[in-house]
Structure 1
Amino acid sequence: MSKDDDDKPKLKPSRLQLGSHEVGYGRPPAETRFVKGQSGNPAGRPRGSKNKPAELDAYDLRNIVLTEANRVIEINERDSVVRIPMVQAVMRKIGVDAMKGRPRAQELFMKVTDKAQSAAIQLHERSLQSACEYKAYWEQELDRRARLGIIHLPDPLPHPDDIVINLHTGEVEYHGPMTPQEVVRYEGARMTLLTLCGAVSYLDKRYVRLRKPEDRDANRLMAANARVLIAEIEAGLPAAYIARKGKAEAASQE
């Protein structure tokens, strides 16, 4: 670089002359500057708006609440650690505070308890009404089928004869299969029961014809084992179901 070059005035890189407008830091060219009173981002969000959290629909929020309420936690109780759902732990704490005489805890505990009892009563009443209506409808329908000789249609599940309603207590009990899978299991157990009962009857008749003591002992043991199995099956299979199926089979053979 020559000495003449050093003597020439240097322009600062942040200050340039463009026509009659000075251009530099904080001073863009005139043609690219924002027009006063006009938004530089007319399609953007309004000034002062805040970031909004992601919206959850009612189904997602309900699942979150129920998941947290049923999350199992550990609490200390009488020098031991027990695992219970969080909602149960909260209710237990409220109940303890209520027993200590804290008015707000007592008020909240009674309010929640009353609401839970009311919901349980309403649910029980709806269940009882549904069971009564279901039983009455299918009793009439099955009676109609019997009068018309309709035998090709399957029985309803549950069968109305398997629904036992206690009108004094309002309790509803189901003494039979509720699903097609249970029908298979019930019928398998019932057929096994019939087979065992037939085997016991045969062994009892055979026993009186045997003369050798060892043959009688073996026959008696087989009959005893069969009776044990019969008792186990009958304990898990409702008697009303067995009687109903037997009656239906006898009617179909007539």
Structure 2
Amino acid sequence: MQATVIRACLGLLLAAMLGACSVAPRQQVVVPHPAAAPQVSAEAVPARLSTQQAADNFIAVARTMQPKIREECLERTQGRQNCNYRILVDERQSASPNAFQTVDSQGNPIVAFNLALIAEARNPDELAFVMGHEAAHHILGHLQSKSQDAAAGAMILGVLAAATGADATGISQAQDIGASVGSRAYSKDYELQADRLGTIISWDAGFDPARGVLFFNRLSDPGDQFLGSHPPNAQRVMVVRRTIAQLQAGQI
């Protein structure tokens, strides 16, 4: 019975969220359907770097990108965000390349790369692009937005579960599901927004985002999954290329 109630409420939640019942309007990054996006050049994948070269690249890129990231943050947020970025290495062992943005206990933004990603990057441009992308999430307030999205989803599904007769356990389960769905409702658009701003930041720092985005060649394509956390790779490449064209034309 509880499962039936939660499934019914989940359907109503999805309908509500897809009908734009969000906590605030979302900035859209307009791109064509992934099928229309140009394919990344099928050039030969560069060889993996030595451990020393990969480490040297990361240190050099971080030194160049950190002040540019801070400058972009201060200019865009006008004091609304903490811009004291720290770029760190996540030393936890993992076979999967990963980078992420978070904040420390003082609210300072952190951009962290794991060792697998540092080893996987084949040139400074790839590191700079990923670094700019993760830094952009903080500048654009995506952590706060996702938290608000999750809270809205939990509230909506919890209220719906209560209205359909769920007990306390059922309401709690519904809230957990609602939070999960809510946190993913705008994830793809947040990623595209971060790709666009990350392109601008890495370009302004003197790197080549067109070369940097080739990192996607070596990532599995998530495709266009419903409520997936990331958009298709081709869509992300299109955003980067379009942003570069605007930079070259002096439109940004």
Q: Normalised by the shorter chain, which TM-score bucket?
A: under 0.3
Greater C-alpha radius of gyration: 1
Q: Which TM-score applies when normalising by structure 2? A: 0.23
